[in-house]
Amino acid sequence: MNTTEVERAAYLQDAQKKALHLFEEIEQKLIRPGISEKELSNAIHKLGQERHGVRTHWHKRVVRSGPNTLLPFEENPPDRVLEEDDIIYVDLGPVFEAWEADFARTFVLGDDPEKKRLRDALAPVWKTVRDRYHENPDMTGERLYAIACEEARKAGWEFGASLAGHLVGLFPHERIPRDKTTLYITEGNDLSMSTPGKDGNKRHWILEIHLRNADNTYGGFYEQLLTVG
């Protein structure tokens, strides 16, 4: 697919807009006490296929609740049933017309004020980190990871993951087998984030914010496009 940079950015933004609409329906129709994480994941898959034209995901569907929200992406914890006063995040990588989205949001059931406070802190921290990135888009992935950790602490939380983002693009996006550093926003990535991809095109990045509470009993997750929009 030969596309200009403006077209590539527009395709990615359109994929994210479609993901947002999918998440709105997930929140309105599917998330409820008594449903298990696996049942919710299956219902999301069905909803995506039937109403949003999603035929594939570029990474596994991740639905985590309660203490499972603390676990890294690679883990596959035992299924857990959502409770009355629970915290849940959903992380999806749907592909829309060959373009990848990567989108995560956190939801709270019930009225627990601390869980709501964490949920409500995610977007502001994300926006602050985004703004600091745009002050110097040539910074390294390691530097932006440090900024994400710093802003999480400033907001009164701990950063809850070993990375704060990664590449995204035309499915399947650029990968280096067994390399968990170069194409990620993480410690050890000393490459400028403005380094072109191997195809010569501008690389586009997803920014992830992972927050966890001081007692380390639950966390929240928020991610979306950093370099478009």
Mean pLDDT of all residues belonging to the chain: 92
Instruction: Write out pLDDT tens, residues 49-102.
Output: 889 888 787 778 999 999 999 999 989 999 999 999 999 999 998 888 778 889
Task: Give burial (CB, 10 Å; 0-12/13-18/19+) of 138.
Answer: exposed
pTM: 0.92
Residue-by-residue DSSP string for 87-129: EEEEEE-BEETTEE--EEEEEE-S--HHHHHHHHHHHHHHHHH
Name the nearest CA neighbour of 16 among 130, 179, 212, 168. Answer: 168
Mean pLDDT of 174-186: 78
Helix 113-135 to helix 141-154 angle, to the nearest 10 degrees? 140
Judge contact between 128 and 144, C-beta under 8 A: no
